[in-house]
Chain A
Amino acid sequence: MSSNITIKVNNKEYQVENDQTVMQALDKIGFHIPRLCYHPKLSIEGACRICIVEVEGAANYVTSCTAKVVEGMKIKTNSAELRKVRRDILELLLDNHPEDCNICERDGNCELQGLSRTIGIKKKHFSGEKNVHTIDMSSPSMTRDPSKCVLCGRCVRLCSEIQGVNAINFANRGFNSEIMTAYNAPISESVCINCGQCITVCPTAALSEKYHTVELFKELSNNSKTKIVQIAPAVRAAIGEAFGLEPGINLEKKLVAALRKLGFDLVFDTQFSADLTIMEEGYEFLERVTTGGVLPMITSCSPAWIKYAEQFHSDILPNISTCKSPMSMMSSVLKTYYAKKSNIDPKDIYSVAIMPCTAKKYEAARDELNLDGNRLTDAVVTTREIAWMIKSAGIDLLNIEGEEFDNLFGYSSGAAAIFGVTGGVMEAALRTAYELYVGETIIDIEFTELRGFKGIKEATVKMGDKEIRVAVSHGLGNANTIIDMIKKDPQRYHFIEIMSCPGGCINGGGQPYPAGSGYIALDEELMKKRAAVLYDIDRGKTIRRSHENPEIQRIYKEFFERPLGPKSHKILHTHYDKKYPEGIYRK
């Protein structure tokens, strides 16, 4: 029950709601207490002790993140003694930190660095031994440098509370405390699903994506290859933030121009292959519905989700659509249809994907996706990486003239754009499936009940004689809930969209650090602004259904003949197997 109470902050009275923490109350009054381990979307840890305040009558300093406000509480937030103590605590963290800011990836958007400035550390008093750990480079998606870890535990809580993966936890004691995988296995052998969400909440560069920028720069100067790049929908909705723009600005055209300036020969749009995915996935769904196939069918675009299912829910693998993701479909057509059409040896195509996602790096490396033994996607870089590359190459992204995608795979429907936000794939699929099944054009094209950031969204769509029950989840903790539901009640849904990251791809593990734009990770306001870009693209298109995309129609005419045909089966579909994280158990 919430009612107003009076507290005193720095000797002035304030009316605040009860039943909240001191930190929450102070935030509302306008005192932003420095903090580190606290994250509003995660459970309260109370470990870093940075957010201490003085409470009259308390024997020790009080952590504002854990203490509740009570009537008559007298709080001091900024006394000289408190400032000294807070400073010293932060220094203790810095003393065991490499402090190599000038060569660090997070320089400029590092929370630890920011705190050091805010709190005002000018001189070190207690310097001593630092923990030095080896960097774990085993994962295709991410890099872990425990030397930079400040043990705030946000990654641990995120991995457990939001994603339900529990790939990492605290180990060892005291000064030797460390966050590690089970049995300290390399990440690649752990249950980590590569979603990279931990990277977005990490206050330092202890967690980051596995960089491909150096190899990519090298390949871009290799003239013997045709360098083709594709851009995922969510990238254009967020990359501006990395250049200091407010969130919510679409930089699609400027990005295309910048990529050409970087040296790519062709710039295609993953949204094209998203339309292709809808064709295949839509037909697959209808086939399952009409022929009594395994239902509910679950989407397969999110590679972290695929690994999650392969590890933890191998019994529902038959439910997952066999369609490759839009990224892999694009790479597939590049090295088959496009290569043939342009008379290029597929080996001479260097296929690059710019993704909001760290798990896409893992997807690109999956052997299941190889075609005739060859990699389809040669390199995946995240939004953050490409932003850096553009800056590093001296390209003035904000001021260059925008350009259009290259033809052939450059055009997309509105349905494809919304792939980048939770519920988008389902919405796009329904637009096409409805028409295919019912035979007439759907009028109410926007499925509002599938939009927004509720963890699990449900809808029922009447398709002619059939009531199709669909569900959408984002964040793997929610996925787990849905899977538990369908294990109990297999008839409950026909079609489920699962996105690994909260909010979908717009909040992927490879998106710009929100710290740069004044937001914090997992902030719904930020997600809304990014989502709005994609919904606006959709609304701005005349063609808003995938099957109406003329380039899609051409590729079927010229190459695939028909969805789910033998050629598309070979090129556009894949398979899944139970995965055994080797660091924990072997087959």
Chain B
Amino acid sequence: MAKPIENLKKIKNEAIQDLIKNGLLSSTRIYIGMSTCEIAAGSKEIWNAFEKEINEKGIKDVQLKQKGCEGRCNLEPTVEVLQTGKIPFKYVNVDGEMVQEIVNRHLVSNDAEYGTRRDNMMTDPFMLTDRSKFILGDVDFFSKQKRITLRNCGIIDPDSMDDYLSVRGYEALAKVLEKYSTEKVADEIEKSGLRGRGGGGFPTGLKWKLVAKEQSAEKYVICNADEGDPGAFMDRSALEGDPHIVVEGMIIAGYAIGAKKGFVYIRAEYPLAIERLRKAIKDAKKYGFLGKNILGTNFDFDIELVLGAGAFVCGEETALIHSIEGNRGTPNTKPPYPAVSGLWGKPTLINNVETFANIAVIILDGYESFASIGTQASKGTKVFALAGKINNSGLIEVPMGISLKEIIYDIGGGIKNGKKFKAVLTGGPSGGCIPEQFLETPVDYDSLKALGSIMGSGGMIVLDEDDCMIDIARYFLEFTQNESCGKCTPCREGTRRMLELLTKITAGKGEEEDIEKLERLANLIKKTALCGLGQSAPNPVLTTIKYFRDEYTAHVKYKKCPAVVCKGIISSPCQHACLLGGSGAPSYIGLIAQEKIDKALTLLYHENPLPVICGRVCHHPCETKCRRGKIDDSIKIRELKRFLTDYGIENKIQAKPVIKAQKNKKVAVIGSGPSGLTCSYYLALEGYSVTIFEKLSVAGGMLAVAIPEYRLPKNLLNHEIDNILKLGIELKLNTDIGKDVKFEDLKRDFDAIFVAAGAQKGLKLGIPGEDSEGIIDAVDLLRDINMGNKVNIGENVAVIGGGNAAIDALRTINRLGKKVKLLYRRTKDEMPAWEEEVNEALKEGIDIEFLVAPVKVIAVKGKITGLECIKMELGDIDKSGRRKPVPIPGSEFIIEIDTLVPAISQEPDIESIAGGNGLKLSRWKTIEVHPETMYAGEEKVFAGGDVVSGPGTVTQAMADGKAAAKMIDKFIRGEELIMQYEVTKPAAEVELLEMTDEEIESLKRFKMPMLEAEERKNNFKETELGFSRYQAVCEAKHCLRCDKEDKG
């Protein structure tokens, strides 16, 4: 009677003796990550450096050992130092210099101390109670993980049989050989609930039983290691980190189904995994775990490696079988399934690497233990390759049922660079894009399928606001299209047509019917393709259409790529991001670089009716999307624009707009803010007689009354307004429509009306005591100050809010010599105000308290004396993609103030216009208009700017005015009100300045010159001084000129 367990014990004892003999207990062991990814990060050099250092110093009793990957891509190379009787140390992002220091600390001076986590010399004060957790170190990343298949990865030396034996290696094999019937093995696996990890999710135990019941002298076990998803690398890492676990799983499978031969089909692009696997198989043979009479029983099993040429379709089991047989790797229609007729027509079991890696632990710990992890229908854990726009990219293993949110935010550490999450793609090119609203979805086979995606083999790619969903769909379809075997019509031809449609859409040539065509083709392919590759290839397209249809519509109808990615639509990102739709940025920047300043200015005047204003107060989305910013710093487009206008004013260069012949048609514009001015400008150019009605005694709307003098000097604002009025526009100040002039009269006397009355009424905080004396809204305060009115504020002021109005109020009050602080309920990262404005405020010595919210006003005799506040903390992600502030109970505190300035938001105040005039108001009291034509649904009436959108940006208001002008022209001409959209084109063809990289690098880049904080904080002088010509030219020369890039 054979005794496998006893035989294994003997082998293990010998192994332990070997280990001890080799200094397990006495020496220092330095583990160095030696997986493909670690080697790519430089671990071979680290290894050599350690060898050199140790040799040179003549240190004895040190072993250098390799280890596999623990999954933390961004921290590689990693090194661990284990010394008997001492707490282990872990080092990440190790470089040559650190090697010397590590050797010195641990082996020379022996004064190694713990540093803090996440610095380069990271160590963790954990005891050896849970070895893997300790070795793995960083808890945040690992605490929500559960490592079963990866349990030894990054822990043991993958090439060492002794190491594997020391972690219960081959015990499961011995156990089944001695104690289990073949039926019982499959039974255990079935009861564990393990499902195929290659993506299909077929119950593994059931599959084993199906093959086991086939009557055949020859059967085969195949391990599918043909990992091919872009972004997926778990099979490689597992094989590189712990090859024996897969070998052991395969042998057990062979025993269970009655096979004597196994194949590992692995792609030839994985040389290190192949090398490790080869060694593992060789060693397993040497130790009697493979070959004849395994562990003394009469069970024989052998494993052979077959190298695949890297065709994605060969991951499909029938194609894989054809490939092993030496034929073209194309799939067959199933049935027959490989379980019945597989390799060379014999019953064949095919499982994925990860599936086999689960077997030993199920056998050892019992199915109950495994089945206790996960959800009802998806048991155990799943390994994912977490990639994309995520802070902690890497390889993770999580219990089934964990939410996507936990994976992305808790394990992945959230989105890179504080960007907004957009979608997560699971299942690689066969999967789907899951949007934010489903982030709570538990990760299991069926939930993901219900969303139109799949578990797949475990690729998980996180996408953020800078990813265009159509571009992503196109990328993955291009992949499947290239990898289609070409056998069946729908996949071969259909995916190409889909790719063509997507390419057409991303090139800005899409038509609305193309989206339906895409859906039709996608459903066709899904339902008729021969194999899984084809059937799942449309998933990225179907899910993006389902969840991001508005992005498709944006591309197809509005010729907009919201993520500013699609070259064919955007021309250059800065220009596309500009709300004015064609700011001409790359063109005038190109001209500045060539020092053709006059030409650049002419171009700017042509593209922008308010360049002086935009050069100072535009929120510059162009810079946010600037490609240069992805390399180092965005081109300072606003500053360059300002430079041009400064140059123009200094040299008295005027814009020379061309006005068309007078049409004898009259348009009334209500409000002289940026929207009204822009609309008037474009209408005047078309030859209309425009009259602007302004309620206040000054023109400019919020530009004049809300933006402080130190940001936008009044003389410059008036210069710009004068330029517009010069086109023959009549301005009627102090005219309140509804009071001074009736709206009906306007309707009677004018051919069209554009309502651009703005939104100036401050919103209430909604806390008790808000009607007390000493509370003044930021907009009211700024208006009074701007207009030179007397303001009544105390000496101790608090401003509440996080937007630009709050910062403007804050800095203005500070300039008045009052004590002022800002209270904001989130952190600086979440502030909607411009970062540079906030920084300047801080430089001016202003106090900002973050994570604080007001609770109630404390007043004495109706006059404010203080404010009760509560501290906040950041909780879960909310709809805006930011972490939601939540109050900390019991953290209330009181601050003493005599003036409170709420600056949270504004709403329009247009009762007098809207009342009884048929204009529809939204619940935010804004005017409802057709979003494309700005038509207000009432004869002759259009509206735009803040009165429609609520408090917005200057450029949004200008864009509305521009669109309204176009539509008003159509309206008066009696044409249909349809907005035609076009892809962004360069405003002018400006030649690229030929410069070498060195020449560009040698040019300095400058910050906007500013008044020093001391010089400005007590006055209203303009703080920004503007670029000099030299500075501007240097800056412009750094522009990448995306408009000249190939549109492909």
Contacts and interface: CB of A to CB of B under 8 A. Distances in A.
Interface stretch (B54-62, B186-194, B328-336, B818-826): B328-336
A438 interface: no
A123 to B, nearest CB: 12
Interface in A80-97: 85, 88-89, 92-93, 95-96
Contacts of A585: none
A174 B482 CA distance: 6
13 contacts: A47-B488, A48-B489, A49-B529, A52-B528, A88-B521, A125-B520, A129-B500, A170-B330, A170-B486, A173-B313, A174-B495, A175-B493, A176-B486
A542 B265 CA distance: 69
B486 A177 contact: yes
Given A85-B527, A96-B493, A177-B492, A172 B500 contact: no
B486 A172 contact: yes
A89 B528 contact: yes
Given A45-B487, A174-B485, 15 more contacts: A44-B333, A46-B333, A46-B530, A49-B488, A49-B489, A60-B526, A60-B528, A61-B528, A88-B520, A125-B517, A151-B489, A174-B496, A175-B496, A177-B485, A177-B486
B333 A60 contact: no
B797 to A, nearest CB: 66
Contacts of B521: 88, 126
A78 interface: no
B486 A173 contact: yes
B490 A89 contact: yes
A172 B485 CA distance: 8
B535 interface: yes
A169 interface: yes
A63 interface: yes
A169 B328 contact: yes
A173 B485 contact: yes
A66 interface: yes
A173 B527 contact: no
Contacts of B482: 173-174
A89 B486 contact: no
Given A126-B497, A170-B328, A170-B330, A92 B490 contact: yes
B11 interface: no
Interface string B307-342: 000010100000000000000101011010000000
Interface in B520-552: 520-521, 524, 526-530, 535
A325 to B, nearest CB: 36
A92 B492 CA distance: 9
Given A46-B530, A66-B333, A173 B484 contact: yes
Contacts of B481: 174-175
Given A169-B328, A174-B483, A49 B528 contact: yes
B490 A126 contact: no
B950 interface: no
B492 A175 contact: yes
B484 A174 contact: yes
Contacts of A150: 489
Closest 6 CB pairs of A and B: A177-B486, A92-B493, A174-B484, A46-B333, A175-B496, A66-B333
A373 interface: no
Contacts of B484: 173-175
A57 interface: no
Contacts of B495: 174-175
B724 to A, nearest CB: 49
B494 A92 contact: yes
Contacts of A439: none
A85 B527 CA distance: 9
Interface in A36-80: 44-50, 52, 60-61, 63, 66, 68
A88 B530 contact: no
A129 B489 contact: no
Contact of B489 (A44, A89, A128): A89
Contacts of B524: 85, 88-89
Interface of B: 311, 313, 328, 330, 332-333, 335, 481-497, 500-501, 517, 520-521, 524, 526-530, 535
Q: Which of A47, A85, A93 has the most CB of B within 10 A?
A: A47
B528 A151 contact: no
Contact of A174 (B332, B492, B527, B530): B492
B228 to A, nearest CB: 13
Q: Which of A60, A68, A128 has the most CB of B within 10 A?
A: A128
How big is the A interface, by class? 35 or more
B502 to A, nearest CB: 12
A92 B485 contact: no
B985 to A, nearest CB: 26
A169 to B, nearest CB: 7
Consensus secondary structure, chain B interface: helix
A128 B483 CA distance: 20
Contacts of A50: 489
Contacts of A61: 527-528
Q: Which of B313, B328, B500, B524 has the most CB of A within 10 A?
A: B524
B519 to A, nearest CB: 12
Nearest to A81: B527
A49 B530 CA distance: 8
Nearest to A88: B524
Nearest to A50: B489
Contacts of A153: 487
Nearest to B503: A128
Contacts of B527: 60-61, 85
A80 to B, nearest CB: 14
Nearest to B331: A46
Nearest to B329: A173
Nearest to A66: B333
Interface string A142-160: 0000000011010000000
A46 B332 contact: yes
Contacts of B328: 169-170
Contact of B492 (A45, A88, A151): A151
Contacts of B330: 170
A92 B487 contact: no
A131 to B, nearest CB: 9
Contacts of B526: 60
A92 B488 CA distance: 11
Given A47-B489, A66-B333, A175-B486, A129 B520 contact: no
Contacts of A89: 489-490, 524, 528
Contacts of A92: 489-490, 493-494, 497
Interface in A166-201: 169-170, 172-177
Contact of B311 (A47, A48, A63, A173): A173
B309 to A, nearest CB: 11
Nearest to A171: B328
Contact of B496 (A44, A93, A129): A129
Nearest to B330: A170
Contacts of B488: 46-49
Nearest to B498: A126
Contacts of B311: 173
Contact of B497 (A48, A52, A95): A95
B492 to A, nearest CB: 6
Contacts of B500: 128-129
A50 B526 CA distance: 15
A55 to B, nearest CB: 12
Contacts of A128: 496-497, 500
B493 A173 contact: no
Contacts of B520: 88, 125
A95 B333 contact: no
Q: Which of B330, B496, B521 has the most CB of A within 10 A?
A: B496
A47 B487 contact: yes
A407 B517 CA distance: 68
Contacts of A47: 487-489, 530
A150 B486 CA distance: 11
Nearest to B328: A170
Contacts of B335: 68
Contacts of B529: 49
